[in-house]
Amino acid sequence: MTSSNGQHIISVRGLRKVYRVGDVNVEALRGVDIDIDRGEFVAIIGPSGSGKSTLFHVLGGLTPPSSGSVVIDGVDLASLSEGGRTSLRGTKVGFVFQKYNLLPTLSARDNIAIACDIARKPLETNAEFGEALKLLGIEQRLDHKPRALSGGEQQRVAIARAIVNHPAILLADEPTGNLDTQNSDAVLGLMRDLNRRLGQTILMITHDPEAAAFADRVVKMRDGRVVG
Domain spans, the chain: 38-66+79-226
Indicate the pairing of strand 201-206 with strand 169-173.
parallel
pLDDT of residue 67: 93
pLDDT at position 126: 61
What distance in Å separates the CA atoms of residue 129 and residue 49, rounded to the nearest whole number? 37
- Sign of the CA dihedral 119, 62, 60, 65? positive
| CATH superfamily label, 38-66+79-226 | P-loop containing nucleotide triphosphate hydrolases (3.40.50.300)
Widest CA span of the chain, in angstroms? 53
The model's pTM is 0.85
Q: Where is 17: in which H helix or E strand?
A: strand 8-21
**What is the rounded CA–CA span in Å between residue 158 and residue 90?**
15
pLDDT of res. 121: 66
Q: Give the pLDDT score at 119.
A: 65
Provide the pLDDT for residue 1. 40
User: Please, what are the averages of pLDDT over each run of 10 residues along the chain (228 residues)?
Assistant: 62 94 91 95 93 92 91 90 84 85 90 76 64 76 90 87 85 88 87 87 93 95 92
Q: What is the pLDDT of residue 36?
A: 96
